[in-house]
Structure 1
Amino acid sequence: MTTTASLVTTVVTGAVLVAVAAYAVRAFPWQRLPTRAAAAPGSGAGATAALPGDTARPSWAPVALGGVAVVALGAGVGAALVPTTPVLGALLGLFAGLIALYVTWGSYHICRARGMTYAQAVGVGVWILAMVFLVGVVARLVLGG
């Protein structure tokens, strides 16, 4: 009985997350965002175009520090989850951390190319990383383990 209740709760939670993500994707006007080249007409390649909300060149330190923290956290969690062979767990966690960094960094660059400000792009990257984490939790709950 408890297993059935847990399964139903997990499936309902997953369905709610999918519904919220689908609503967010449809509600935001992605197609109408200005690109960097369109932000400042006549600026050439558009690499230095001033977008709304950009006041200065963004600092890469927080993004780099966050990336190192995600990879290190992945390695630490992997080592903790595999106590019999912590080196193998650390390598698996390191791999997972690198994939998380790839997803976050890629979404950040896509958002910046679509005209979002630095803070918005970092927020979307972190949001997508959180969604990947929640999908992993839901998958683990559904599959058991």
Structure 2
Amino acid sequence: MAALGYVVSALVMGFLLVVLGLALVRARDWQRYILPKQSGPSWSDGEAEFELLRTIARNPTGWVLGFLVATLGIGAGAVLFVSGEAVPPSLRRNAWLLVVSLSVALVAGYIFWGTYQSSRYRGLDSAQATLTALWVWGALFIVAVIVKLVMA
């Protein structure tokens, strides 16, 4: 069993993370705008089953909750990974895989989205911004391979 201090520390930090997320959502002066009506059929016509997903994706609270779930998943995996003999080895291996996979996905998504938004802000259109973000992603992947080869 984990020491009581570690459990209390994890609970306090989780609580502070939730409070910080709620404070950020409530303190932000969210600006709203109305998209102009598009004429003609669009690719989304007749796809009512995805409407709930679109509603959640447009809601900032959904993004905050998604971040919190991912963070808590990484935290739970880390706790399982370091929890010694009380947890079976197969569960610890799966926890390690969960922590690494979610961490890589979050960092890769952060880098991609940040590069994309920065490129759009600087005046590039969507395709050029996507290409720039993918180029940065590829360059970082090559750097990671080079580091791996040099360190091996």
Fold match by TM threshold 0.5? no
TM-score, structure 2 normalization: 0.39
Task: Give the greater-gyration-radius structure (CA).
Answer: 2
TM-score, structure 1 normalization: 0.41
